[in-house]
Amino acid sequence: MNDNDQANILMVDDQPGKLMSYEVILKELGENLIQARSAREALDHLLRQDVAVVLMDVSMPEIDGFELADMMRQHPRFQKTAIIFISAVHLTDLDRIRGYRSGAVDYISVPVIPELLRAKVSVFAELHRKNRQLERLNRELEQRVAERTEQLHQSEHQFRTLANSIPQLAWMADAQGSIFWYNQRWYDFIGTSPGEMPTWGWRGVQHPDHADRVLQLLEKSRQACEPWEDTFPLLGEDGNYRWFLSRAVPIFDSQGSLVRWFGTSTDISTQISAEEQIRNLNGQLQERVAELEAIMKVLPVGVAVSHDPESSVVTANLALSQLLGVKPGENIATRIDVAVAGSLDLYRNGDRLASGDHPLKRTAKTGEQLGSLELEVRGPDGKPIFLQSSASPLFDQFGNVRGAVGAFINVTDRKHLEDLLRERADLLELATEAIIVRDMHGVLLFWNSGAEALYGWKREEVLGKSIHQVLKTRFPKGFSDVENALAQTGKWNGNLTQFTRDGHEMTVACRKALKADGNAVLEINRDISAQLNAEDALRKAERLAAMGRMAGIIAHEINNPLEAITNTFYLLRDHPSLDEEARYLAKLGDEELLRVSHITRQTLGFYRESEHSVEVSISAILDEILELQARQMEFSNIVLRKQFRSKGTIWGFPVELRQVFLNLIGNAVQAMPDGGTLSLRVFKSSRGCDRRAEVCVSVFDTGTGIDPEHAKHLFEPFFTTKETKGTGLGLWISRGIVQKYGGTIRFRNISLAGRNVTCFQVRLPESDFQGVIDPIVGSREVAEKAEASNGGF
Amino acid sequence: MAASDITILCVDDEETPRTLRKLILQKQGYQVITAASGAEALEVLDRVSINLVLSDQMMPGMTGTELTKSVKAMRPTMPVILISGVNEIPADARYADRFVSKIGGPDLLFKTVAEVLEEYSRTALEG
């Protein structure tokens, strides 16, 4: 029923006519009029509907109005229902008071005044309406309150749920500080159950060291009604203390008075221990940093650190700073930026490094590890400094590159040393002498290319082997002498015999030196075989020269009287005074003298019958000689084979040439006393590096051959294999003559199936001028002679 | 020209060889004058008409070649033959017409003398 609803007016009267009149009067109120003819009917209506006002006739048969009113008043529902008595009877004040006492009642007497009736009814109707409104509002209010309360309950429930789920310990206390609620965590931690909790301040679970302070502060805050915070350990169920950060806040009502306390305690044990760890770590870190700084300071290696990927900040340690000539700690980023004037240029293998290739910058940027690079930088004084450089990246916690560390070792000295050593090594390689180093057991440690060339062993083949094994050294006096000398003086010089790889024997001038530390021996060997041979040859030549000089002197001394004697016999020959016997004796003397002449001619005279050389045909000379030898050859059963492909014409002196070939052919014939074959060949050839034309003459015999032992001495003077005849000078002289012509004479001995062939070959250059080099003067003669005879002196 | 028309000046510092040489040349039919030294030879040359000088090489004072030079200076058309026991021809022997070894024997000597005289007479004829 809302405010404007019709109220139900119940009219009770046993007289319908009265009911009708009431209806007419009340109609204009607009309310709902209900008629009832009896009290019972009225009750019925009352029960069925919500009646605002009951208009009641007092006098009614059976149950009168007062009785009805009493009945209504007994019913709780109708206790407050308004009743208007309509009474014809005069009611005493006492009656009215009685009526008023029973609530909401009014009287109207008959005759009813319509306006009055209307007014009273409308008042009560209105009242009823208002009551109903009020009831409704009340109900709504109650509902709201109930809802509110419910919400509050829910909130509180949620709060408790929340409070129980947070990891913190939580509690609530009343204004006096008495804790009336703990969250579940609390119980879990402390290990108590609700109801067993300690008092305000939690004395029982406080750490003795902290308890007093905590409680003091807490009490202070409580009294001041101010928020409280403290950190202290609490004893847990497991018997261990844990650190808690505890807070409490006062809660005030709308009037500002303290209603309760709300607090939390947060377990910061891990945090505390973490903090302690961090403190420790920090301490350690600081120590490490200090160590690092000390190391950097003391390190002789230059170290630079790039603090960002762009290398805008680069610091150098003491060593590097000194190297670069900068102050320690100064940012050297600009010094390594080639774009900046005055920066330090880095070179690698002679090429200037671009900015990005600076190892430190590159690593700081790209994160790549750069291994040893040799770089060159110009020092503050302009001299080059060589640095062995490497760079390592630095990474942040995400794995990104955040900088780099570079190390720079000054290897300038080492490089110089290396260069020096390399030069020395190169020099050692250049040396043609064999330079060898061996240890005290003779094991080879060093073998230069001179040694390789001299001995024929490559260094890979001999290093690690014993020197004496390799070289088969023969010492003049014995190994121990050498060792002693070395041990005492540290040196030894001398000549040794050593063998090359292919067994060739040679004499070596050896200088040994003991290394300073006494662990190895350095040897420098020089092949002096050639030198010795040359010395030998020189000695021989000198001997020969001496002999020649002597021969010259002897020649002169002998030739003079020889000529005289020859002349004497010449004169005696046909002297008339001689008888037959005397003539015979003279003839004998003459013949023997001829022999002497022959010998002296051979030995003491390289004489030439003229100064002019003439065109000589070797073939012709050979033919002449063959004629002379014909008888002997026949006698010895020697077969002749001639192969003259050329006349073999050269410019020379017939007599001496004849002497040469007479010697060779004579030897050949003498080598075949019991028969054989004599072969002669003459041909032209061009040979030699200058392709000069030569006449080659070969004399072959199938005689006794030449003993290898004799072969060496064949061309030596006074060497002869013939027992009786021979001066031993023939081949020597022949060779001398051939050499004067600039030619060669060689022999070969071939043994084949028991048979022997000996071959002597003479090669004489075809000269294209009319002179032969005179050994004494060394000049060409004929042209000069022609000039001399024309022009006088 | 007959041998008898030829006068040879034979120079040698040693007497016996000199004498013997003279004898064999004379046996050949030549006229021979001797001198014991280069100086003497030059002096003779001055006085006497000589056709050929035959001199020993090794002589004290003046060697054969030195004598040759002087002779040729005095008489450019004078043939000079040097004879010697040395076994090597000296350098300035080329000034002489021939250098003969003593061990060549008398035949060689005669041959050489004859050759040289022949050459010179031919040259003289040709003027």
Query: Can you spell out the DSSP letters for A305-316?
Result: EE-STT--SEEE
In chain B, which residues have their Cβ closer than 8 Å to the Cβ of A560?
A: 14, 17, 85, 102
State whether residue B88 sits within 8 Å of chain A by CB.
yes
* Helix, strand and coil percent figures for chain A, each rounded to 5: 45, 25, 30
In chain B, which residues have their Cβ closer than 8 Å to the Cβ of A564?
A: 16-17, 20
Of A394-403, A574-583, A594-603, A755-764, least confident by mean pLDDT is: A594-603
Highest mean pLDDT pick, A20-34, A599-613, B20-34: B20-34
**Tell me: the pLDDT tens digits for A497-512?**
899 898 888 888 899 9
Q: Which residue has the tokens 């050269």?
A: A650
Q: Do A552 and B86 touch (CB under 8 A)?
A: yes
The mean pLDDT of chain A is 82
State whether residue B24 sits within 8 Å of chain A by CB.
yes
- Please give, rounded to a whole number of angstroms, the shortest distance from the CA of B23 to a CA of chain A: 8
Scanning every residue of chain B, which has its alpha carbon at the shortest distance from the alpha carbon of A551?
A: B87
- Please give, rounded to a whole number of angstroms, the shortest distance from the CA of A712 to a CA of chain B: 28
Instruction: Look at residue A768 in the predicted model and tell me its pLDDT.
Output: 56
Q: Do A608 and B89 touch (CB under 8 A)?
A: yes
Q: Which residue has the tokens 């102050």?
A: A327
Instruction: Look at residue A778 in the predicted model and tell me its pLDDT.
Output: 31
Give me the residues paired with residue A252 across strands: A258
In chain B, which residues have their Cβ closer than 8 Å to the Cβ of A607?
A: 87-89, 101, 103-104
State whether residue B20 sits within 8 Å of chain A by CB.
yes
- Please give, rounded to a whole number of angstroms, the shortest distance from the CA of B44 to a CA of chain A: 22
Instruction: Look at residue A747 in the predicted model and tell me its pLDDT.
Output: 92
Q: Do B103 and A776 touch (CB under 8 A)?
A: no
Nearest to B103 among A551, A568, A600 (CB): A600
Instruction: Look at residue B8 in the predicted model and tell me its pLDDT.
Output: 96
State whether residue A600 sits within 8 Å of chain B by CB.
yes
**Tell me: the pLDDT tens digits for A642-653?**
999 988 889 888
Scanning every residue of chain B, which has its alpha carbon at the shortest distance from the alpha carbon of A655?
A: B104
Chain B from 95 to 124: CB within 8 A of any A CB: 95, 98-99, 101-106, 108
Highest mean pLDDT pick, A125-139, A465-479, A528-542: A125-139
Q: Do B91 and A557 touch (CB under 8 A)?
A: no
Residue A781's pLDDT band, with cuts at 50, 70 and 90, is very low
pTM: 0.37
**Tell me: the pLDDT tens digits for A261-279?**
888 888 888 888 888 888 9
DSSP state of B115: H
- Please give, rounded to a whole number of angstroms, the shortest distance from the CA of B113 to a CA of chain A: 13
d(CA B50, CA A241): 159
Nearest to B99 among A570, A597, A611 (CB): A611
In chain B, which residues have their Cβ closer than 8 Å to the Cβ of A559?
A: 84-87, 101-103
Whether A665 shows a pLDDT value over 90: the answer reads yes
Instruction: Look at residue A320 in the predicted model and tell me its pLDDT.
Output: 83
Whether A553 shows a pLDDT value over 90: the answer reads no
Pairing between β-strand A228-235 and β-strand A755-765 as defined by DSSP bridges = unpaired
**Tell me: the pLDDT tens digits for A337-394?**
655 555 667 777 778 777 777 888 888 888 888 888 888 887 667 778 888 888 899 8
In chain B, which residues have their Cβ closer than 8 Å to the Cβ of A555?
A: 85-87
Nearest to B14 among A560, A604, A788 (CB): A560
Instruction: Look at residue A608 in the predicted model and tell me its pLDDT.
Output: 52
Instruction: Look at residue A6 in the predicted model and tell me its pLDDT.
Output: 82
Highest mean pLDDT pick, A119-133, A669-683, B85-99: A669-683
Instruction: Look at residue A787 in the predicted model and tell me its pLDDT.
Output: 41
In chain A, which residues have their Cβ closer than 8 Å to the Cβ of B83?
A: 563
Q: Do B102 and A559 touch (CB under 8 A)?
A: yes
B105-126 helix and B15-28 helix, angle to the nearest 10 degrees: 60
In chain A, which residues have their Cβ closer than 8 Å to the Cβ of B76?
A: 792
In chain A, which residues have their Cβ closer than 8 Å to the Cβ of B85?
A: 555-560, 562-563
Scanning every residue of chain A, which has its alpha carbon at the shortest distance from the alpha carbon of B18?
A: A564
Instruction: Look at residue A631 in the predicted model and tell me its pLDDT.
Output: 84
Q: Which helix (H) or strand (E) holds A169?
A: strand A169-174
Mean of pLDDT values over A750-778: 70
In chain B, which residues have their Cβ closer than 8 Å to the Cβ of A777?
A: 91
Whether A771 shows a pLDDT value over 50: the answer reads no
- Please give, rounded to a whole number of angstroms, the shortest distance from the CA of B48 to a CA of chain A: 23
Scanning every residue of chain B, which has its alpha carbon at the shortest distance from the alpha carbon of A788?
A: B95
Mean of pLDDT values over A394-417: 87
Whether A329 shows a pLDDT value over 80: the answer reads no
Scanning every residue of chain A, which has its alpha carbon at the shortest distance from the alpha carbon of B15?
A: A564
Q: Do B16 and A559 touch (CB under 8 A)?
A: no
d(CA A525, CA A692): 39
Query: Can you spell out the DSSP letters for A656-709?
Result: HHHHHHHHHHHHHHHT-TT-EEEEEEEEEEEETTTTEEEEEEEEEE-SS---HH
Residue A428's pLDDT band, with cuts at 50, 70 and 90, is confident
Q: Provide the sign of the torsion angle of the four alpha carbons A791, B2, B3, B7, taken in this order.
A: negative
Q: Do A793 and B108 touch (CB under 8 A)?
A: no
Sheet harboring A302-306: ordered strands across? A314-316, A302-306, A401-410, A384-395, A370-378, A346-348, A351-352
Q: Do B76 and A792 touch (CB under 8 A)?
A: yes
Cis-peptide, bond into residue A111, ω within 30° of zero: yes
- Please give, rounded to a whole number of angstroms, the shortest distance from the CA of B103 to a CA of chain A: 6
Helices (H) and strands (E) in chain B, counts: 4, 5
Instruction: Look at residue A642 in the predicted model and tell me its pLDDT.
Output: 94
* Complex prediction ipTM: 0.90
Scanning every residue of chain B, which has its alpha carbon at the shortest distance from the alpha carbon of A786?
A: B94
**Tell me: the pLDDT tens digits for B94-106?**
788 888 888 888 9
**Tell me: the pLDDT tens digits for B59-108?**
999 999 999 999 999 899 999 999 988 777 777 777 888 888 888 889 98
Most B CBs within 10 A among A550, A562, A563, A789, hence the mutation to make, goes to A563
- Please give, rounded to a whole number of angstroms, the shortest distance from the CA of B123 to a CA of chain A: 12
State whether residue B94 sits within 8 Å of chain A by CB.
yes
Nearest to B94 among A558, A562, A781 (CB): A781
Scanning every residue of chain B, which has its alpha carbon at the shortest distance from the alpha carbon of A606?
A: B87
The answer to whether the beta carbons of residues A359 and A406 sit under 8 Å apart is: yes
Q: Using a pLDDT cut of 70, give the percent of chain A over it.
A: 88
In chain B, which residues have their Cβ closer than 8 Å to the Cβ of A774?
A: 89
Chain A from 527 to 566: CB within 8 A of any B CB: 551-552, 555-564, 566
> What are the CB-based long-range contacts (under 8 Å, 24+) for B18-24?
B18/B56, B20/A563, B20/A564, B20/A567, B20/A568, B20/A571, B21/A563, B21/A567, B21/B54, B21/B83, B21/B109, B23/A567, B23/A571, B24/A567, B24/A570, B24/A571, B24/B106, B24/B109
Q: Do B17 and A606 touch (CB under 8 A)?
A: no
Of A79-83, A287-291, A592-596, A603-607, least confident by mean pLDDT is: A603-607
Of A722-726, A745-749, B11-15, least confident by mean pLDDT is: A722-726
Most A CBs within 10 A among B75, B95, B103, B111, hence the mutation to make, goes to B103
State whether residue A604 sits within 8 Å of chain B by CB.
yes
Q: Using a pLDDT cut of 90, give the percent of chain A over it.
A: 11
- Please give, rounded to a whole number of angstroms, the shortest distance from the CA of B77 to a CA of chain A: 10
Q: Where are the alpha helices (DSSP H) in A254-330?
A: 269-298, 318-324
Instruction: Look at residue A253 in the predicted model and tell me its pLDDT.
Output: 84
Q: Do B91 and A600 touch (CB under 8 A)?
A: no
The answer to whether the beta carbons of residues A374 and A350 sit under 8 Å apart is: no
State whether residue A608 sits within 8 Å of chain B by CB.
yes
Mean of pLDDT values over A752-776: 72
Q: Do A607 and B93 touch (CB under 8 A)?
A: no
Token pair in block for residue A575:
């002297």
- Count contacts between A and B (CB, < 8 Å): 102
Instruction: Look at residue A774 in the predicted model and tell me its pLDDT.
Output: 42
Q: Do B20 and A562 touch (CB under 8 A)?
A: no
